[in-house]
Amino acid sequence: MLLRAFPDGLEGLDAAVVRELRLAYAEWLDNAAGRRPDPAIHRAWIAYVLHTVLAWPADLLAEGPALPSALAVPVAEHGETLRTDGALLDPETHAPRLLLQRLPAGQDPDKPPAGARWKASPVSRMIDLLRGTDVPLGLVTNGEQWVLVHAPRGETSGAATWYAALWGEEPLTLQAFRSLLTAGRFFAVAAADTLAALWQESAANQQEVTDQLGLQVRRAVEVLVQRLDAVDKDRQRTLLAGVSEPRLYEAALTIMMRLVFLFSAEERGMLLLGDALYDAYYAVSTLRAQLREAADQYGEEVLERRRDAWSRLLGTFRLVYGGATHDRMHLPAYGGRLFDPDAFPFLEGRAAGTHWATSEAQPLPIDNRTVLHLLEALQILQVKVPGGPPEPRRLSFRALDIEQIGHVYEGLLDHTAVRAAAPVLGLIGGKDREPEVALAELERLHAGGDTGLLKYLEEMTGRSVGTLRKGLAAEIELQDLAGFRAACDNDAALLERVRPFAPGWCGATALAPRWWSHRAACL
């Protein structure tokens, strides 16, 4: 959304304004730190930022008696009335575009005012004021922190904070602050490019983020099911004996939802992230970085020979479920069905009916490369970029609300696992199309000529015939199928069968195997 609105980058800064800003900030800071701060200097500093840095016209910033009477919201249960200190008005309609709240220099925007009966922070009060007045944007500042609040009625609220102390050290933050909040962003751009419209567009794009996360989690579940099936095969099919395919899928799904919960809880400060011991040996937020560093240094193939990450995950799951009381770590026992180690004892290499606290576990040999891919499916989002390949970006779980996490979970419940009796090829289709087709069926259609095969693939994938024809015409050598070799146990004959349907990794290809094997579970 920002790339669209700022195709040439953020707006530049006038060097003279930057120098003057530093002097004004230093004067304000000296005053705020003094024994008897002058309220006039505090007010002058805020006015300087609004009118000089952001170029807000003085006649459009309504204050005091000039404020519309509708910009007040009574809160009967707390005996208070929420009011704004100022409002940036539309030059034509005089409707408020943004509400302003000035705080004393020492008041934290995220903490309740001292002595207040209603224990709500200024930011929370601004959210209620915005929703009560149907003004989507607000700005809360104590001179140091400048908090932009977005809270449209009936929708999730959000906030972004800038720190004046950083403007001199990191001019890019000042550039961003000015680019988003300058008067021109409200009045001198197309309606779709105003600040409120950009934020609304960002909220709409969040659904795409949720959908992409759901797709990545589903594919990670596939990878985990594959690996569990491979371990079961190595153990002569004793590991999953008596475990139905739906239960196997439920176990893999549970692992992924545990990770989603942990990422969310750690980023929200609900667990022990930041504690040296927890970060080094338990945190999932740091585990991906540790595995990625090892992969970049030694190669991902080395991770295939290491298996400590899976045991670490199991230990973290037990820690959340059973808690810990130790002189170096204390965490209450949260319990709950999601983290119950006895829900799927085979994940710990234990027999059914055993208890996690009394029976020895033999963690499955899930390699570190698999764990890395599970974590990256959650933390690294492949964002679609117009005219280019997907761009990897780190996902902040603090930005996901409970409804979005629920949406991901519900999407996963729409699937299950079945055991393939013969090789199955996963086709890359359009949105919401991920067909799996028996390789023998594709071969049968191919033998009858391209026309019937292309028509079938068009129906299954939603791709155009031209794209499909180009993909089928691509010449692929066996050495280019390295990504599929492990999936079929280095079966050269099987690789040769797949080659006609596996165009290269580059470009807009129509077909590509996701994963398959003679006895692999497949979604």
pLDDT, residue 14, reads 86
Mean of per-residue pLDDT scores for the chain: 85
pLDDT, residue 108, reads 93
427-452 pLDDT tens trace: 777 666 778 888 888 889 888 888 88
**Residue bearing the bigger pLDDT, 384 or 257:** 257
Give yes or no for residue 508 having a pLDDT over 60.
Answer: no
pLDDT, residue 480, reads 56
CA dihedral 221, 223, 226, 228 (to 10 degrees): -70
pLDDT grade for 479, boundaries at 50, 70 and 90? low
Give yes or no for residue 426 having a pLDDT over 80.
Answer: no
pLDDT grade for 510, boundaries at 50, 70 and 90? very low
HSE (side-chain half, CA atoms, 13 Å) at 184:
8
Per-residue pLDDT averaged across 238-259, rounded? Answer: 91
Q: Is 110 helix (H, G, I), strand (E, B) or coil?
A: coil
324-343 pLDDT tens trace: 999 999 999 999 999 999 99
pLDDT, residue 486, reads 57
358-414 pLDDT tens trace: 999 999 999 999 999 999 999 888 877 666 677 788 888 877 777 778 878 888 888
Cβ neighbours, 10 Å, residue 473: 9
Residue in the block written with tokens 């090789």: 423
pLDDT, residue 209, reads 78
Q: Which residues have CB under 8 Å from 289's CB, separation 6+?
A: none
14-39 pLDDT tens trace: 888 889 999 999 999 999 988 899 99
Per-residue pLDDT averaged across 52-79, rounded? Answer: 90
Exposure letters 164-203 (e unless 16+ CB within 10 A, then b): beebeeeeebbbbbbbbbbbebbbeeeeeebbbbbbbbee
Distance CA 319, CA 135 (A): 45
Report the range out of 73-82, 139-148, 448-457 with the highest average pLDDT: 139-148
Distance CA 259, CA 285 (A): 9
Q: Which residues have CB under 8 Å from 205's CB, separation 6+?
A: 1
78-137 pLDDT tens trace: 888 999 999 999 999 899 999 999 999 989 998 988 888 888 899 999 999 999 999 999
pLDDT grade for 253, boundaries at 50, 70 and 90? very high
Cβ neighbours, 10 Å, residue 341: 20
> pTM for the whole thing?
0.64
Give yes or no for residue 7 having a pLDDT over 50.
Answer: yes
pLDDT, residue 424, reads 82
466-478 pLDDT tens trace: 878 877 776 666 5
Question: Are the C-beta atoms of residues 478 and 471 closer than 8 Å to each other?
Answer: no
pLDDT, residue 523, reads 29
Three-state secondary structure of 60-73: HEEEHHHCCCCCEE
Give yes or no for residue 513 having a pLDDT over 60.
Answer: no
233 closest CA partner among 483, 518, 523, 423 = 518
Distance CA 459, CA 469 (A): 14
pLDDT, residue 515, reads 36
pLDDT, residue 345, reads 94
Per-residue pLDDT averaged across 51-71, rounded? Answer: 92
pLDDT, residue 503, reads 55
List of E strands, 411-457:
418-419, 424-426, 436-438
Per-residue pLDDT averaged across 141-157, rounded? Answer: 90
pLDDT, residue 519, reads 30
**Residue bearing the bigger pLDDT, 253 or 428:** 253
Three-state secondary structure of 350-365: CCCCCCCCCCCCCCCC
pLDDT, residue 489, reads 64
